[in-house]
A = this chain, B = another copy of it.
Amino acid sequence: MITLQLINPKSIAVIGASENIEKPGGKALYNVKNGTFEGGLYAVNPKHENIQGVQTFRNVSELPQIDLAILAIPANLCVPVIKSLLEEKNTKAVVVLSAGFSEMGPIGKKMEKEMALLADKHQATLIGPNCIGVMNPYHQSVFVSPVPKMEWGGTALVSSSGATCVFILESALSKGLTFSSVFSVGNAVQTCVEDVVEYLNETYEEGKSPQTILMYIESIKKPQLLLKNARELIGKGCRLAAVKSGISDAGGRAAASHTGAMLNSDMAVDALFRKAGIVRCNSRGELTAMGAVLQHPKLTGKRIAIITHAGGPGVMLTDVLSTGGMKVPRLSDELMRNLRDELFEGASTANPIDILATGTAEQLEKCIRFCDRLESIDGIVVIFGSPGLFSNIDTYRVIREQQNSCLKPIYTILPSILNAKEEMDQFVDEGGVFFEDEFVLGNALLNESRYVAPVEEKETGKLKNEKKIKALLKDRKGLIDSHVGFELLDLMGVSRPRNKFISTEEEAINAAQELGFPLVMKVVGPAHKSDVGGVVLDVVTLEAVRENFKRLIGIKNAAGVEVCQMERGLEVLIGVKKEPGFGHIITCGLGGIFVEILKDIQYTLAPVTRTEALRMIRSLKSYKLIQGARGKEGISEEVFAEVICKVSDLLVLVPEIEEMDLNPLMGRGHHLSAVDVVIKM
């Protein structure tokens, strides 16, 4: 819960303020005082009367009513101070900068819990402890630098880690990103990253609220809250990108099913982000590059024009864009002719458009305008550095002007971080945002071009036989017997090979005639059937049925024989694993040896819509095998998607399922049959 007093306080007190701005309590007071805050500002320090020219009290009880308190005092003093503020001063927002809590051990953990309980009780927001604070256009309550100008509509940054928040800001500001709010949630005892996202969603105002939300997340405490609010924000036109650090060790937990062992909790994060429409980044650099791309007008297609004064970076950018699936389309001869007259002899107009090292600001302007008018181009990249001979002021001014007047996004690569440093600083001062390296921009554009908006959530509960299914699985624990599994498949309407359990030769012959060839015959009784020669594939004659029956029934511990239709065709699989907090991960892929060796699987979080299921199937590297290739019929993707959705519906109906494995599902065309099923409750 985030209160108005945290966002727009009428009064702020810095508890533990100091004259020394090398100390957190000194720097925090300094930042608030020298920032945009216009309300009443107070300091608390037992030893001084006037700190940094701010009215100072000896202790909290002397303070007037305070909306927002910033605590920079030893950890062990925080709980009583917070209690006093909440109970006596009507304080509704507390930012605890102090460290020394749960990271120190159980005593710190206990103090954190007390703080959170107090804040909850008084309906106040608690940020931290162990954080750098909060900044927005109303106030900049942080104890660190840099303190950027906070601008409505700028990017929001929400971070688990204070130091990482600072480093992201440094990287972002030097590239020209602008921010409207920064939240550092620290140990997040009451307010976590997901709560801030909820707040940004619930208070969203077009034109004022951030359009881009960047996050650095160390642990996802409320995945469903993040999912819900991210989807809603995206529906309002926002974009979200995040680094989730701390990738878990794959296979850290034992899994009963075959597919389960391939899934880990980092995949749950991946699936959550994809479902929520959050772009996942691997580093501070990728996150800020994504933020910089999103600070431009929306890119609506994959076709990029590159205007450069130097060949090399244009070629490298073309390489990264083309290999990643974007296009740097060659301009038609006619178009090129129009442009060529404007440029120096030797300039290349094919795209990349190379205006040469001697190219002027006027030529650059003409090229940008030219590309902005082209129907065959969706976005423009300008590359302009300097060999150090003369100033780039004019060219950078032209870029800013064209960015303001053109309809298409104009991304800027400014590689001359030494030769054109002053001009670049001015470019940023005037509101420009730039990329230093073409490869970094290229990858961010690819990330953007691959972005797929989240799928609408679907209504659930379409399974037939819901009551019977619930009854069948009621109170079951651990691994479910395969005959129960097959019964479940029948109730769900998922095909599976028909089978008969028999114990005489005559029954075997009857079963074979009823089920039809080819057949599989298995001994019933022994645990490891294959090891005792208890499985026979591809039985195609009555004579073979007879012979195999005799042999199988003679195996030690044989209680009978199972005669089963043998499936042929392509093998695929569907797997399920429950991830605490996230719900079920559903995976699909090729079955059998393919999945084991080549790990060609796709996954998402349940519930799964038909669109999502088809998207997963079509994203498999081996999708062409499913479509049918080299004259071999594949499997209907519609039918495969339908089975995935049925499994998803089952998980909604029976969330107690921990793991589930349909592996393999075999068939051709519209026939797809689950040969084996493993379920763990």
Q: Which residues of A are interface residues toward B (Cβ below 8 A)?
A: 21-24, 27, 99-100, 103-104, 132, 143-146, 159-164, 166-167, 170-171, 173-174, 216, 218, 243, 245-247, 249, 282-286, 309-313, 315-316, 319-320, 322-323, 345-346, 356-357, 385-390, 415-419, 436-440, 592-593, 596-598, 600, 621-622, 624-625, 629-630, 632
CB-CB under 8 A from A417, the residues of chain B are 170-171, 174
A308 (CB) vs chain B CBs: closest residue:
B163
Q: Which of B283, B310, B389 contacts A27 (CB 8 A)?
A: B389
Q: Which of B283, B310, B439, B624 contacts A161 (CB 8 A)?
A: B310
Chain B min CB distance to A103 (Å): 5
- Measured in the bound complex, the distance between the Cα atoms of B161 and A492 in whole Å is 65
Contact of B283 with A316 in the complex, beta carbons under 8 Å? yes
CB-CB under 8 A from A246, the residues of chain B are 315, 319
Chain B min CB distance to A292 (Å): 14
- Measured in the bound complex, the distance between the Cα atoms of B630 and A596 in whole Å is 9
**Most chain B beta-carbon contacts within 10 A, residue among A99, A145, A311:** A311
- Measured in the bound complex, the distance between the Cα atoms of B416 and A103 in whole Å is 24
A21 (CB) vs chain B CBs: closest residue:
B389
Q: Which of B163, B284, B389 contacts A437 (CB 8 A)?
A: B284
- Measured in the bound complex, the distance between the Cα atoms of B166 and A283 in whole Å is 27
Contact of B320 with A283 in the complex, beta carbons under 8 Å? yes
CB-CB under 8 A from A243, the residues of chain B are 316
CB-CB under 8 A from A390, the residues of chain B are 22
Contact of B598 with A144 in the complex, beta carbons under 8 Å? no
Q: Which of B167, B311, B600, B630 contacts A415 (CB 8 A)?
A: B167
- Measured in the bound complex, the distance between the Cα atoms of B621 and A145 in whole Å is 48
A631 (CB) vs chain B CBs: closest residue:
B530
Chain B min CB distance to A198 (Å): 23
CB-CB under 8 A from A323, the residues of chain B are 247
Contact of A145 with B346 in the complex, beta carbons under 8 Å? no
Contact of B245 with A319 in the complex, beta carbons under 8 Å? yes
Chain B min CB distance to A270 (Å): 12
CB-CB under 8 A from A146, the residues of chain B are 388, 418-419
Copies in the complex: 2
Contact of A310 with B346 in the complex, beta carbons under 8 Å? no
Contact of B167 with A416 in the complex, beta carbons under 8 Å? yes
A593 (CB) vs chain B CBs: closest residue:
B630
Contact of B600 with A624 in the complex, beta carbons under 8 Å? no
- Measured in the bound complex, the distance between the Cα atoms of B441 and A459 in whole Å is 46
Q: Which of B103, B286, B315 contacts A218 (CB 8 A)?
A: B315
CB-CB under 8 A from A164, the residues of chain B are 310-313
- Measured in the bound complex, the distance between the Cα atoms of B422 and A48 in whole Å is 33
Q: Which of B247, B249, B311, B320 contacts A282 (CB 8 A)?
A: B320
Chain B min CB distance to A529 (Å): 13
CB-CB under 8 A from A173, the residues of chain B are 418
The 3 closest A-B pairs by CB, nearest first: A164-B312, A283-B439, A145-B388
Instruction: Contacts A24-B389, A160-B312, A309-B163 given; indicate if A436 touches B171 (C-beta within 8 A).
Output: yes
Chain B min CB distance to A242 (Å): 12
A24 (CB) vs chain B CBs: closest residue:
B389
CB-CB under 8 A from A320, the residues of chain B are 282-283
Contact of B170 with A357 in the complex, beta carbons under 8 Å? no
Q: A99-B346, A166-B386, A170-B417 are in contact. List 13 more A-B contacts (CB 8 A).
A: A27-B388, A99-B357, A100-B345, A100-B346, A144-B387, A146-B388, A160-B312, A163-B311, A163-B357, A170-B416, A245-B319, A247-B323, A592-B630
CB-CB under 8 A from A600, the residues of chain B are 598
CB-CB under 8 A from A286, the residues of chain B are 439
CB-CB under 8 A from A632, the residues of chain B are 593
Contact of A161 with B282 in the complex, beta carbons under 8 Å? no
Instruction: Contacts A99-B357, A100-B346, A417-B171 given; indicate if A166 touches B598 (C-beta within 8 A).
Output: no
Contact of B312 with A144 in the complex, beta carbons under 8 Å? no
- Measured in the bound complex, the distance between the Cα atoms of B416 and A291 in whole Å is 19
- Measured in the bound complex, the distance between the Cα atoms of B61 and A355 in whole Å is 36
CB-CB under 8 A from A624, the residues of chain B are 596-597
CB-CB under 8 A from A104, the residues of chain B are 345-346
Q: Which of B159, B282, B418, B598 contacts A621 (CB 8 A)?
A: B598
Chain B min CB distance to A169 (Å): 8
A319 (CB) vs chain B CBs: closest residue:
B247
- Listed by A's residue number, 13 A-B pairs whose Cβ atoms lie within 8 Å are A99-B357, A100-B346, A162-B357, A162-B387, A166-B416, A170-B418, A245-B319, A283-B316, A283-B439, A284-B415, A593-B630, A593-B632, A598-B600
- Measured in the bound complex, the distance between the Cα atoms of B99 and A24 in whole Å is 57
Instruction: Contacts A283-B320, A346-B104, A630-B593 given; indicate if A132 touches B315 (C-beta within 8 A).
Output: no
Chain B min CB distance to A263 (Å): 16
Contact of A388 with B166 in the complex, beta carbons under 8 Å? yes
- Measured in the bound complex, the distance between the Cα atoms of B76 and A296 in whole Å is 45
A249 (CB) vs chain B CBs: closest residue:
B322
Q: Which of B163, B389, B592, B593 contacts A310 (CB 8 A)?
A: B163
Contact of B622 with A166 in the complex, beta carbons under 8 Å? no
Contact of B385 with A163 in the complex, beta carbons under 8 Å? yes
Contact of B598 with A438 in the complex, beta carbons under 8 Å? no
Contact of B22 with A389 in the complex, beta carbons under 8 Å? yes
CB-CB under 8 A from A23, the residues of chain B are 389
- Measured in the bound complex, the distance between the Cα atoms of B166 and A262 in whole Å is 47
CB-CB under 8 A from A597, the residues of chain B are 621-622, 624-625, 629
CB-CB under 8 A from A24, the residues of chain B are 389
Chain B min CB distance to A530 (Å): 8
A146 (CB) vs chain B CBs: closest residue:
B418
- Measured in the bound complex, the distance between the Cα atoms of B623 and A597 in whole Å is 8
- Measured in the bound complex, the distance between the Cα atoms of B597 and A630 in whole Å is 10
CB-CB under 8 A from A357, the residues of chain B are 99, 162-163
- Measured in the bound complex, the distance between the Cα atoms of B592 and A395 in whole Å is 55
CB-CB under 8 A from A309, the residues of chain B are 163
A418 (CB) vs chain B CBs: closest residue:
B170
CB-CB under 8 A from A312, the residues of chain B are 159-161, 163-164, 167, 216, 218, 245
